Structure 1
């Protein structure tokens, strides 16, 4: 049996959410951990953009975007209905668009503030906090971002909140986001996250 090939990088939030969806769906793949300093030639051949995740299916089709990989995985098997209702799917699009757009930009500038010296890091953090405040408000009335059960938005957004929380841990643990911290910690402790964070040797074409 030829398995789909997943090119990944353990700490990349885009790759994390793709791996979580694949593992949740029970889709077996051959995971190839890359080094950004020596990207595999085969990966660049099938996806010249050179970023992860990249999933090559058994029939040769290539999925180059993490959300496409997530949706493909859930189309194979979605035992807990992560996709949810039509309304929830539309809501997920809005939340993930905010996460991948405005919030990701603020996150990058906050994390790498030395590369963006026009503003102090606290300014970039405050820009990111607009999204944190939105999520905190949702979690004040429900257990997960889209209701009482996990859905696509939770999994797609979680790795980026994890990354944001790690920029200044001391600040995050005392910031006024108790429900968001609880939500984040639950995902960090989950069997799903632990499973997809197992270390793999770096893959080479040689």
Structure 2
């Protein structure tokens, strides 16, 4: 058997999660290397110096270190669930929806979940700062809730937008689960609950021991 693509990942990272979802959905065999973010392996940093996950290293040496690009690489090879073909919108509309989530919503999510990382913006009021950004992020969730009349964001079946956005909705929901559960977003909660109960999610969320290079060293470019 030839060499497999290598995926450097961190289980709870939503970017890495969505890359794993696409690799799994496409049936793409790969070697998963779980990373400890405070002690990133030299092998990963050698191929992607920016030091973020996910990173996919192909057998020929090509490196893909953006999660959406990994998703598209996997699904363009094999897309049995037709995630690249939304049933209720154009691919361009799907891309626009993902970009909106990855942009403004993600900025608010980061400041809600990790307010202490933004001390320069919070004027010393981390709690108030977090709540402000929770409210801003919630405006986006209201829009998503309205979209989910058919169960998915862009029609009656899952597409790339659902699988690219759901890991971040999960992160938002778990920041304050009681508050999230009390919001008037029944479609959004059902969408997230269904995702977390799905084989897609269960199949990519198993725990793995942190990867260690084999004794005797390893080529930096796998």
| TM-score exceeds 0.5 | yes
Q: What does residue range 1-206 of structure 1 map to in structure 2 within 5 Å?
A: 1-84=2-85, 87-116=89-118, 117-118=122-123, 120=128, 121-139=130-148, 141-205=149-213
Q: Runs of 5+ in structure 1 lacking a partner? A: none
Q: Compute the TM-score of the two structures, normalised by the length of structure 1.
A: 0.96
Q: Please state whether the residue corresponding to 2:37 is helix, strand or coil.
A: coil
Q: Runs of 5+ in structure 2 lacking a partner? A: 215-222
Structure 1 moving runs of 4+ over 4 Å? none
What is the deviation of 1:94? 0.9
| Paired positions, count | 205
The superposition leaves residues 17-76 of structure 1 with CA deviations (integer Å, 9 ceiling, x where unpaired) of 000000010001000000112111111111011000000111111101000000000011
What is the deviation of 1:85? 5.5
Larger radius of gyration: 2
Aligned-partner Cα distance in 2 for 1:122–1:111: 10
Most deviating of 78-87 and 119-128:
78-87
